Structure 1
Amino acid sequence: MYAKMNKEANTLVDVAGATILRLKIERYRAFQKFDWFPKAGLNVILGGGDAGKTTILEAIALLLNPSNAALVSDSDYWRRQRKDGFFIGAVISLPPDSSIATQSRPAFPWEWDGRQARKPQESDEGEPARPVGPPVYKISVSGSEELDLTYAIHNPNDTTDIFSSTLRREIGLVRLGGDDRNDRDLRLVQGSALDRLLSDKALRSRLTSTFSDVDVKAELQTEGQEAMKQLNETFGERALPHDLGLGLSAGQGQSISALIGLTAAIEESRLPLSSWGSGTRRLASLAVAQAYRSGCPITLVDEAERGLEPYRQRKLVSELAAGPSQVVMTTHSAPALVAAEPATIWYLSQGHVIAELSSPRSIQLQKRDPEAFLSRLTLVGEGPTEVGFVTEMLQREISTDLLDLGVRLCDGQGNTFTLELLEEFAKAKLGLAAFVDCEGDNTTRWKNLKSAMGDLLFQWPSGCTEANVIAHICDDKLEALLFDPDDILTQPRLATLVERLKVLESTAEFPKHDFATVKAVAGNRLRALIIAAASGDSEGAPEKEAKTWKKHGKRWFKSLEGGRELADKAYVLGAMVKVKPQLQPLIDALTALTARTPKATENG
C-alpha cells in the first residue's frame, strides 16, 4: 500500500514503509542547526553548489547506517569543533509490523501533530497510550568528542534505548550516491539491498566453511612455498602459532560475503556489475531494492543525472516518483526535474534554509521551464515582451554571455502570476531578479518585494514596457516603430491603427491605408494610438471587437522577438537615452555578477 500524505499537516495515512517526518541536524559538517519536514514520496532538493544538499543525504545515511562500522573524523563536526559533538535526529513513522514494538525492550511511540512529536496521554496503568494514527518514533545518532557514535531511540517517558543495527537494517536504506564507484547495494554487504533481498542469514557461515577448505598454499609457486616454509620455522622458534597455511579471511569491518556480488553476462564472459558504468550500477541498485517486496526502504539519490543519458534520467526519476518509498533526491538536471511528478520540490539556500516550492505557479514553471530552478540567478520577465527587451538590453550593456553568468531568463506569464512566483522564490532565497510592468495594484506586496530584492527588481513607475519606451521616441520617428525587420508585420501593424481609428474617429475617411493618412486622422493622438495598439489595450473598443483589439499587441511587440525589436528600436531611435537612467540600477546589479562569477578554468 502506497503512502498517502496530507501535505498541509504533514501527516501520514496508510504508510507503506518507513517515512522521516522531521529531520534535525546540529553541528554536523557545515550545518550548525537545520530543521526539515520532508514529505512522503519523492522529495527533490535543489540548490547551488556547496549549499549542503549532499550533507543532508549523508546525515540520513549515517542515521540509518545498517552496520556499526561507520567511522567519523573531525571534519564531520561543525567547524571541526569536536568538544560539543554533533547530533542527527529524526521523527520517523514505521509500518505496523515493525519490530520496534516487539523487541526485548519495546519502544513506545509518540503522537505526531504534523509539526512535532508529542507525548501521548497516559493509560490507566501509567504507561503511554498508543497514539491515534500512525505511530512515530524519535531516533538519533550523535558523535562524541572522542569520535564515537551513539545510536538511540528516545521514548516519551524520557528514557532511551539503543537504536540497534538490526532495527536500522529492518528500516532499510538504498543509497545511490554521487561516488562513481558506489556499488554497495550490488554486493552482499551486511544490510545492503542485495543482502535484504536474498535474506539468507546462514550464507556467511557456509561461505566461511567452504572457503576455509581451499588450500591456497598449494597454489603457490616454488619460491612462495619455500618462503612459507621458512616463515613457519620462524614462528615455531618464537613460540608463535605455526603449521601455517593460507586462506581467505576478512579484516575488521569486513566479511567474506562482502566479496560476493552480482555478475552479468557480456559477450562470452561474466563481469561484476560493479565494473559496469555508473548509470547502469545506479539503475541496477534501484532494481534490486525494488525487488525486495517485503519492505519499502528509504532511498537517497545524490545527483540523479550522474552517468545517465536524459532518457534514462527520466526513467529513473519517474520510477522513484511512482514507487511507495520515501525518496530524497538532489539534481542539477532539467530532464530529471521535469520527470519529478508527483514530487515535493525543495530549495536549499547557501544559509542552509530549506523551503518548499509547492504553489501552483511553481509547479507550472517546473514543467514549463525547469532551468529557472537550477540557475545561479533567475531573471523573471513579466511577459515575453519583457524577456525579449531585457535580453537585448543586457547583451548590449554586459559583455559577458548571460548563460556564462548562470542567469536564466524566464517568462512570468503575467503581472499577478509573476508577483506570486517572485514572492515564493524570494522567501525560499533563490537567486532572483525581475523586470515587470506597473499595473497600479498590489502596491504593498510589490513594495515588500522591492525591499527584499533591492536593485534586482525593476518595475516601471507606471504603465507597461511599450508605453514607457514609445513615450520617449520623437514624433518624427514614430513611423519607424511600424517597420518590421522581416517586413512581415509592417502592414498588419498599420492595419491595427486603421481599425482603431475607424472606431475612435467614425466620421473620418481613409482614401489610403498608409501612415500619412493615419497621422493626419489621429493628429495629436498618434502616440497614444500606437501605444494602445502595441500594448493590446482594448479601452474604447466595441464589445464585439474587444478581443480583437487585445490581440493587436501580438502584431507589435508582444512576443520574445518583439521585445528584442522594441529594445533595439529604443537604442536606434534615441529613447534609451531617457529610459536607461531608470534601468541602470538593474544593469549595475547584474553586471556585478561578472566580478563574482569564477572562471571555468579557476580552481573550485
Structure 2
Amino acid sequence: MARIRQITIENFRCIQQLNWYPGQGLNCLIGPGDSGKSSILDAIDLCLGARRNTALTDADFHGLDVEKAISISITLGELDDALKSIETYAPYLRSFNPVTGAIADEPHAGYETVLTVNVTVGSDLDPIWSLVSSREDLRELKRYLTWADRARISPNRIGALADHNLAWRRGSVLNKLSEERADTSAALAKAARDARLAFGDAADAQLGTTLAIVTQTASELGINTDGPLKAMLDAHSVSFSGGTIALHGQNGVPLRALGIGSTRLLLSGLQRKAAANASVILIDELEHGLEPHRILRLLGSLGAKEQQPPLQGFITTHSPVAIRELSGDQIIVVRKAEGSHVATVVGTRHDIQGTIRSFPEAFLAPSVLVCEGATEVGLIRGLDIYLTAHGEVSLHASGVSLVDANGVSRLYTRADPFRELRYRVAVLRDDDEQPDATSETNFQAGGGTLFKWRTGRALEDELFQSLPDPAVLSLLAKAENFLGAELIDGQLTSLSGNTLNLAACKASVTPQNRSVMALAAKTKQNPWFKTVSRAEEVGRDVVAPYLTQSDPDFLANISLIWKWLRSAG
C-alpha cells in the first residue's frame, strides 16, 4: 500500500516551510515544545485524510497571515495497481529518485512511480485537494483521487478518543481488516425492539474473521477482553448507522470503555494487521496512557525492530523509554532554523546508538553538557541540588541534560552528534589528558562550547588546590567514609614516599598535603570520587557551601559553566 516519500508544508501553523523525506518505516519526531512536531502529523492528516469537511481557522495560517495560502504536498510511492492506473491517473503519474530525492513530472525507467497529492487553503478557509502535475497545470486541469482511493490511502490516526475505530464506521481500522461487512437491515429493525443479543449472534457469523483478528491481537498485546469479542449493537447510539455496530467484550461491555492506554495499544496492533490496506499510522504523544513496558509493546506492534517495516508510522514522543528503544535512523529531530523548519534524522554516525541507549533523555532536552566522566556529572548534579534547595531554578527546569562521555577519548564522539543536530551543546573536561586536537577545534568552530579545568589539572586537583582548609578536611572525611580509613591511609603513605599518612593530613592542611591528597583521589585503582553518587555528595555537601571562599580562578570557571547552564532552554 502507498507510503509517503516526500512532505512539503508551507504556511501551516508554526511551520513556514518544511521539506522532508521520511523513512520507509517508523518516523519518531522529537524536539523542543512548539517545534512543529504535532503540526506535521496534522498536515499529513489534512492532506491525506478521507474527510468531506475540515474545520480550519485563521490560527491555522502561519503568523495568522491568511493572505499566504496554506499548501501541503505529499508524494506517495509504493503505489498499488489502482493508483498506477493509466486510465485514471496517467497525466499525474510522476517518478521519484530515492537517492537524490528528485521528482520528475514524467515516469522514468529505473525510478519509482509516484503520485503527489496537494491541499491548498486560502483566506476563504475552503480546502482544495488536487493531484500535482505540471503537464495538467498548463492545460488548467485539476482533479483528485477517487473517493475509494482516497479512503484507502487515508492514514489512521490514533488519539485519545477511539470510538471511531472501535466501531464499523467509514474509514475505521475495523473496516480495513477484511472485506467482510455485516448486513444490518434486519438486525437494526430488531434493535429498535431491544435485539442487541440477536444481532450479536448474527454479526458473529458475518464478522467472524475481523473479530478473530481483534481477539488475537488483544491477546498478543496482553489486553484482557474476558474471552472472544462480539459485535453487538451499541446501546448508546442515538441513531442506527454503520457506527451502530461496535466492538463489545464477552460480558457485553463496549470496548470503548477500555482505558486510554489499552485502546491505543490495541489500535496500533490492529493497524499492523490491516497494514496491507492502510499502511500509514499517526500517533501524537506515543506514551500517553501507557506504562513503560506497554510503550515497548506498542513500538513492537508497529514493527520498530523489523528490517522490513510492516507499515509507515509517524509518531511524536517525549518519553526516554521510547527513544531508547529506537534506532538512530528512526529518530527525527525537528527544529526551526532561519525561518524554515528542518527535520533531521539522528542516524548512525559517531556510533550514536550507544548514546541513544545510555542517555535517551539528552535527545529530549534543548541543551546538553557532555562531561568527561562521572565525577564531573556528579559535581554538577550536586551543585544543582544545593542551589535548587536555596531557591534557584533547577537544571532540569532549565532544559539541561548531562551526558557522561566515560573518558576524554570519547568526548567528541558523544558531543559532535548533538552539535550536528543543532542542539546547544558544551563539553566539560579535565586538562591532565588531552583529547584529539582536531576534534576539539572542529567542535568549537561548529558552535560548541568548551569548559575545562586549569592547565594540567583534573577535577580532583582543582578541588584539593582551590577549596579552603575546612572544605579539604571535609573532602578527606568523605573519602574515608566511602573507602575506609585503612585504604586512604595506605594510599597517602605510598604516594608521599612514607612522609605522610591520614593522621598527618587531618592534622594540618599544607600545600604538600593538598597535592598528595589530590594525587590519591584520582588513582586508577580505588579513586575517591569517580562515581556520580559520590561526586554528587561532594558537590552538594562540600563544594557548594564553600564555593564563594574558594580560589578566585576556580570560582570564576564554575561561574562561567553555571552561566551557560542557566542560559539553557
Scaled to the shorter chain, the TM-score interval is 0.7 to 0.9
Deviation at 1:391, TM superposition (A): 1.7
Q: How does 1:165-564 map to 2 (within 5 A)?
A: 165-177=147-159, 180-200=160-180, 207=184, 256-266=241-251, 270-292=252-274, 294-295=276-277, 297-320=279-302, 321=304, 322=306, 323-341=309-327, 344-349=330-335, 352-358=341-347, 359-375=349-365, 377-398=367-388, 399-400=391-392, 401-430=394-423, 432-438=425-431, 439-443=433-437, 445-446=439-440, 449-450=443-444, 457-463=450-456, 464-472=458-466, 482-483=476-477, 484-486=479-481, 488-497=483-492, 510=498, 514-515=501-502, 530-536=517-523, 551-552=524-525, 554-564=526-536
Establish whether residue 112 from structure 1 lines up as the match of residue 106 from structure 2: no
CA–CA distance in structure 2, aligned partners of residues 214 and 486 of structure 1: 77
Q: Contact 2:21–2:101 at 8 Å: present in 1 too?
A: no
> Could you say which structure has the larger radius of gyration?
1
- Length-normalised TM-score, structure 1: 0.72
SS in 2 for 1:24: strand
Q: Contact 1:18–1:94 at 8 Å: present in 2 too?
A: yes
**Among 118, 130, 138, the residue aligned to 1:140:** 118
Deviation at 1:532, TM superposition (A): 4.4
CA–CA distance in structure 2, aligned partners of residues 133 and 528 of structure 1: 69
SS in 2 for 1:135: strand
SS in 1 for 2:455: coil
Q: What is the alpha-carbon root mean square deviation over aligned residues?
A: 3.8
Q: For the structure 1 residues 129 and 326, does the alpha-carbon distance in structure 2 shift closer, same or farther, using more than 3 Å as the test?
A: closer
Q: Contact 1:338–1:367 at 8 Å: present in 2 too?
A: yes
Q: For the structure 1 residues 119 and 405, does the alpha-carbon distance in structure 2 shift closer, same or farther, using more than 3 Å as the test?
A: closer
Deviation at 1:36, TM superposition (A): 1.7
Alignment-mate amino acid for residue 558 of structure 1: K
**Percent identity of the aligned residues?**
24
Deviates more, 1:440-449 or 1:166-175: 440-449
Q: Deviations over 1:146-171 (max 9, x none)?
A: 22222222247465642333223223
Deviation at 1:33, TM superposition (A): 0.6
Deviation at 1:22, TM superposition (A): 2.0
Q: For the structure 1 residues 285 and 395, does the alpha-carbon distance in structure 2 shift closer, same or farther, using more than 3 Å as the test?
A: closer
SS in 1 for 2:5: strand
Q: Contact 2:269–2:298 at 8 Å: present in 1 too?
A: no
Q: For the structure 1 residues 333 and 383, does the alpha-carbon distance in structure 2 shift closer, same or farther, using more than 3 Å as the test?
A: same
Deviates more, 1:157-166 or 1:187-196: 157-166
CA–CA distance in structure 2, aligned partners of residues 366 and 443 of structure 1: 25
Q: Deviations over 1:261-296 (max 9, x none)?
A: 222234xxx132223221122122223322326335
**How many equivalent residue pairs?**
501
CA–CA distance in structure 2, aligned partners of residues 73 and 19 of structure 1: 29
Deviates more, 1:42-51 or 1:433-442: 433-442
**Among 531, 551, 563, the residue aligned to 1:588:** 563
Q: Contact 2:350–2:417 at 8 Å: present in 1 too?
A: no
Structure 1, gaps ≥5 residues long: 1-16, 121-127, 217-249, 502-507, 537-550, 597-604
CA–CA distance in structure 1, aligned partners of residues 148 and 470 of structure 2: 84
Q: Contact 1:99–1:167 at 8 Å: present in 2 too?
A: yes
Alignment-mate amino acid for residue 153 of structure 1: L
Q: For the structure 1 residues 93 and 156, does the alpha-carbon distance in structure 2 shift closer, same or farther, using more than 3 Å as the test?
A: farther
Q: For the structure 1 residues 499 and 187, does the alpha-carbon distance in structure 2 shift closer, same or farther, using more than 3 Å as the test?
A: same
Alignment-mate amino acid for residue 184 of structure 1: H
Alignment-mate amino acid for residue 111 of structure 1: F
Q: Contact 2:336–2:342 at 8 Å: present in 1 too?
A: yes
Deviates more, 1:37-46 or 1:388-397: 388-397
Q: Contact 1:46–1:331 at 8 Å: present in 2 too?
A: yes
